[in-house]
Structure 1
Amino acid sequence: MNRVLDEALIYEILSVVEEIPEGQVATYGQIARLIGRKRNARLVGRVLSMAEFYGSYPCHRVVNHAGRLVPGWSEQKQLLEAEGVAMKNMDHVDIKRHQWSL
């Protein structure tokens, strides 16, 4: 996996995350498709789990394909709600309403 995960790829993923507008969310798969790696949603998740080592990025705006928040990261919901993102239930964003469309 380390051969796949080089700094150029990390910054490519983070640069896409940086573009997600306030009040919108993107999915791991959506980011993977945008960088030309449509089958690497888990790779995107792995990079985001260590994004703090590369700077400040709005990783709270990334959810899974169903809009589910990251388990165990209670601040994510608070950050999204502060941006006006509506929740479908306790741990899912209303993805139909807030998904980033390019």
Structure 2
Amino acid sequence: MKNAFEDIYEVVRLIPYGKVSTYGEIAAYLGNKRAARMVGWAMCASHGDSSIPAHRVVNRNGLLSGKAFFGGNLMQELLEQEGIVVENNKIQNFKAHLWIPSKELL
């Protein structure tokens, strides 16, 4: 059996440029909608691996809740480079940028 973090990373790598997903949506896609915190732990553990776009994973309200783990404003800067507007640590027009794996990966 594969490591749970590796399963999470596989899904996160599929989030398209200019889109974001949530901890909960990723957990639900992997079969346990209550495992959102595990997705967060995986994102925290992924720092340093540039193949995992952890900056594209936010909370269910579009808040950059993982921002502290990036240091400074790096998470926001990376999202803005992809055309996503962030104000007060929150993605503007969040639903337009939301990528839901259970709908997209049928």
Which one of 86, 91, 94 corresponds to residue 93 of structure 1? Answer: 91
Unaligned runs of 5+ in 1: 1-5
Tell me the number of residue pairs that the alignment of Structure 1 and Structure 2 aligns: 96
Separation in 2, partners of 1:48, 1:42: 10
What do residues 8-38 of structure 1 show as CA deviations (whole Å, max 9, x unaligned)?
A: 2111000000000000000000000111111
Secondary structure at the counterpart of residue 9 of structure 2: helix
Instruction: Give the TM-score normalised by the residue count of structure 2.
Output: 0.81
Counterpart code for 2:23: Y
Match of residue 20, structure 2, among 16, 25, 35: 25
Aligned to 1:66: 61
**Given the alignment of the two structures, is residue 79 of structure 1 paired with residue 71 of structure 2, yes or no?**
no
TM-score (norm: length of structure 1): 0.84
Q: Work out the percentage of aligned pairs sharing the same amino acid.
A: 38
How far off its partner does 1:7 sit?
A: 5.5
Cα RMSD for the two superposed structures: 1.8
CA drift at 1:90? 2.0
Per the alignment, in what secondary structure is the counterpart of residue 52 of structure 1?
A: coil
Please tell me whether the aligned partners of residues 67 and 75 of structure 2 are also in contact (alpha carbons under 8 angstroms): no
> What SS is found at the alignment partner of 2:13?
helix
What corresponds to 1:3 in structure 2?
A: none
